[in-house]
Structure 1
Amino acid sequence: MHETRLRRIREKMDELGLDALLVTKEVNSLYLCGFGEDSRLLVTGSDAVLITDSRYTEEAEAKVRGATVHTFKSDMLEELAVLLGERGVKTLGFEARSVTVAALGEMEKKLSGTALKPTDGLVEELRIVKDAAEVERMREAIAVADAALADALPYLTPGVTEADMAAELRYRLFKRGASEVSFPPIIGFGPTSSLPHAKPGSRRLGENDNVQFDWGAVVNHYCSDCSRVFFVGEPDEEILRIHEIVSEADRRAREGVRPGVSLKEIDALARSFIEREGYGQYFGHGLGHGVGLEVHEAPRVSPKSADTAREGMVFTIEAGIYLPGKGGVRVEDMVLVTADGCEVLTRFPYDTTPNKAFKE
């Protein structure tokens, strides 16, 4: 697996005339060789070297595939210069989006005998299409997230605070086997739900509130991402209505997913329906984003997206309507692009009654 990924990145290096590529983004190193924490991966035409320090040597040697492990003693860049010289590297590509101006200045001083060439998205482009093992890891993350929310929902009763629910959900995620949360859980009660990235606070659940959950788990480095809405008592009629609109918009978008369709068109399927229903001005974000080693990665599903759906892509579909001061609704699923359409990976029930959903 990792050998195949390294071969593909070498093909891209050849196209750009690079003798080597320095991978500095941790998840890209993880993708290519199986380890990335606080390390750098040097890929040349003939070998790959993970450069790390003594804190990670033992772990890296156990996990790295397709590369050797080099533990630097004092100055990483000085030792990198030696490695480059030994391999006759004249042109070194670097990941422009993960190298700061200050770090680039240091590289220019200490790697003065090597031409430095910025690159953008070389590894990310490979990561856009998932293989079967990656999809299986995301299924595992989804299962953990689903079970955790089901465990937490019995605590969703009038009087509980958003912060209490967030703490309960985080606890249940770890209890069910998550190594980390994909992102801090987004939980909004009533008016707070109009904030797309609501931070759980001291607001208590009312007798007739709507509740917005957006949560995810990380399992074996891969993320999940899902949003669901629940109603307590008899919520506002307009909130119920926009839930129906958002759900239908998502359904229309899912039905339009298939290889060869532009992601801009998929966004438009949901957005145009919401606009016809009179709520276009309240749907301000893109319809979705890729999910994998990062919870937000390429591709983007938005009006400005230049991407086209390809078999093996995994991205979210998450239309939303947010009414300031009143409340909002977002329903989100992860989908896998298949040969003739898409598979919805997220499985949590759409039932909006908490005591029914957690019994599914």
Structure 2
Amino acid sequence: MKGLEKRLETLRTQMRERQIEGILITSIPNRTYLSRFTGTAGILLITLSKAFLVTDGRYMTQARQQSPDFQVEMHDGNEFERVAALCQQESVQILSFEEEHLTYAEYRILLHLCHETQLVPIKGFVEELRLIKDDQELQAHQRAMRIVDQVYEQMLEEIRPGNTEQEIAARIEFLMRKMGASGPSFATIVASGHRSSLPHGIASEKIIHHNEMITFDFGCFVDGYVSDLTRTFFLGKPDEKHSEIYGIVLEAQEKTLETMRPGMTGKEVDQIARDVIESYGYGDFFRHGTGHGIGLEIHEAPSLRLTSEEVLRPGMVVTVEPGIYLPNEFGVRIEDDVLITESGAIRLTKATKEFIAI
């Protein structure tokens, strides 16, 4: 069974178990996961026996090419009118919709049009299927990860004082595209000097100077799937405090990678890294969760943070990214993408974690 056929069959199995006659998919990542359609306009209607992709005239050829398992339907300006007609045609009495991805205005339109169909909200239905990556998804992830590994190594050779953070970010994004990425998976972070103490210090007009800590946090899309890599290095000669903080963060990250296992909750994984950092007295300066899931989106379940009860399972891909941020001084974060296996975790990003001084 091919990848998309298997996903649809798994979805329908879940639909039968929950007594769902039909489901309307309006989330773009969920639509892509189930159909591979990448156009900017389109929704899915899936029943226990048929699958429809409703789009406009611009995308009819693309939709048929990308989504051969779907019957492609063209609407004339109101996609929900076509959905309502299909529900009547297929005798769908109860239609589930994604409550987090349908606006109230869209719901009112659908409610008005679906006279003979009851609308029932569901949450996280497709997202649950997306938690476990299949071989095709892992291959796309790994291609995206190889690109960021290579870009980081090249940037270590190129970076010099005098460039702005924005110029460096532009170079990173150019190289990712040149190596085969379709684009960055989020706004590239280049944070130098005191700005490295900002966990999400998106590249600014600040000029990079000698004797500064620099953090890169960047990723790319390949075949719809993301990578997410963070590395911190020093431009010049670091002092003892720079080396100390880097060593603590690296110890916290490696301890987490060595210890995390399927069956652990997100908060248990988070506590591993947090315990290391707290043992050195820097707990107040670790101000975010230890990681998050990745896939078609840069932030997916499961979350690795203090409040997360989500359980790790084999086949999940997550980040592990502890950090210490000393306000107005500098910060350090080290992040890798990780595959959860039957016995532990495998690091998928391979870029060096040595504390490099250039």
TM-score (norm 2): 0.96
Amino acid corresponding to residue 219 of structure 1 in structure 2: V
Q: CA 1:132 to 1:354, structure 2 compared with 1: closer, same or farther past 3 Å? A: farther
Counterpart residue number, 1:223: 226
2:117 to 108, 114, 117: 114
1:140 matched to 2:143: yes
Amino acid corresponding to residue 15 of structure 2 in structure 1: M
2:49 to 42, 46, 50: 46
1:212 touches 1:228 (CA, 8 Å); kept in 2? Answer: yes
2:316 to 297, 303, 313: 313
Amino acid corresponding to residue 32 of structure 1 in structure 2: L
1:345 matched to 2:351: no
Counterpart residue number, 2:249: 246
Per-residue CA shift, 1:319-354, capped at 9, x if unaligned?
Answer: 011111111111000110112111100011113326
Deviation of 1:235 (Å): 3.0
Counterpart residue number, 2:155: 152
Amino acid corresponding to residue 161 of structure 2 in structure 1: P
Deviation of 1:56 (Å): 1.0
Deviation of 1:187 (Å): 0.7
Distance in 1 (CA, whole Å) between partners of 2:104 and 2:158 is 48
Per-residue CA shift, 1:8-39, capped at 9, x if unaligned?
Answer: 11222223322100000111111112214321
Distance in 2 (CA, whole Å) between partners of 1:270 and 1:95 is 35
Distance in 2 (CA, whole Å) between partners of 1:126 and 1:192 is 38
Which runs of structure 2 are paired with 1:73-112 in the superposition (5 Å)?
73-112=76-115
Q: Alignment partner of 1:55: what SS?
A: helix
1:5 matched to 2:12: no
1:156 touches 1:354 (CA, 8 Å); kept in 2? Answer: no
Per-residue CA shift, 1:149-204, capped at 9, x if unaligned?
Answer: 33333331112211110111111111111101111110100100111111211222
Distance in 1 (CA, whole Å) between partners of 2:157 and 2:208 is 13
Counterpart residue number, 1:334: 337
1:18 touches 1:92 (CA, 8 Å); kept in 2? Answer: yes
| Structure 2, unpaired ranges of 5+ | none
Counterpart residue number, 1:358: none
Identity %: 39
TM-score (norm 1): 0.95
Amino acid corresponding to residue 221 of structure 1 in structure 2: G
Distance in 1 (CA, whole Å) between partners of 2:235 and 2:73 is 57
1:175 matched to 2:187: no
Q: Give the paired residue count.
A: 355
1:237 matched to 2:240: yes
1:270 to 269, 273, 278: 273
Per-residue CA shift, 1:214-253, capped at 9, x if unaligned?
Answer: 0111111110001001111123432321111111001111
| Structure 1, unpaired ranges of 5+ | 356-360
Distance in 1 (CA, whole Å) between partners of 2:315 and 2:48 is 27
Counterpart residue number, 2:293: 290
Distance in 1 (CA, whole Å) between partners of 2:105 and 2:350 is 45
Distance in 1 (CA, whole Å) between partners of 2:94 and 2:241 is 60
Distance in 2 (CA, whole Å) between partners of 1:352 and 1:58 is 51
Counterpart residue number, 1:17: 19
Q: Which moved more, 1:257-266 or 1:334-343?
A: 257-266
1:92 touches 1:116 (CA, 8 Å); kept in 2? Answer: yes
1:179 touches 1:218 (CA, 8 Å); kept in 2? Answer: yes
Counterpart residue number, 1:204: 207
Distance in 1 (CA, whole Å) between partners of 2:44 and 2:239 is 54
Amino acid corresponding to residue 55 of structure 1 in structure 2: R
Following TM superposition, the consecutive aligned residue runs of length 4 or more in structure 1 with deviations greater than 4 angstroms are none
Distance in 2 (CA, whole Å) between partners of 1:91 and 1:318 is 43
Amino acid corresponding to residue 351 of structure 1 in structure 2: E
Deviation of 1:83 (Å): 0.4
1:67 matched to 2:70: yes
Q: Alignment partner of 1:150: what SS?
A: helix
1:31 matched to 2:33: yes
Q: CA 1:93 to 1:354, structure 2 compared with 1: closer, same or farther past 3 Å? A: farther
2:236 touches 2:357 (CA, 8 Å); kept in 1? Answer: no
1:261 matched to 2:264: yes
Q: Alignment partner of 2:152: what SS?
A: helix
1:28 touches 1:36 (CA, 8 Å); kept in 2? Answer: no
Deviation of 1:112 (Å): 2.8
Counterpart residue number, 1:129: 132
Q: Alignment partner of 1:316: what SS?
A: strand
1:92 touches 1:117 (CA, 8 Å); kept in 2? Answer: yes
1:153 touches 1:354 (CA, 8 Å); kept in 2? Answer: no
1:149 touches 1:172 (CA, 8 Å); kept in 2? Answer: no
| RMSD over aligned Cα atoms | 1.3
Amino acid corresponding to residue 121 of structure 2 in structure 1: P
Amino acid corresponding to residue 209 of structure 2 in structure 1: G
Q: Alignment partner of 1:202: what SS?
A: coil
Q: CA 1:236 to 1:113, structure 2 compared with 1: closer, same or farther past 3 Å? A: farther
Q: Which moved more, 1:22-31 or 1:63-72?
A: 63-72
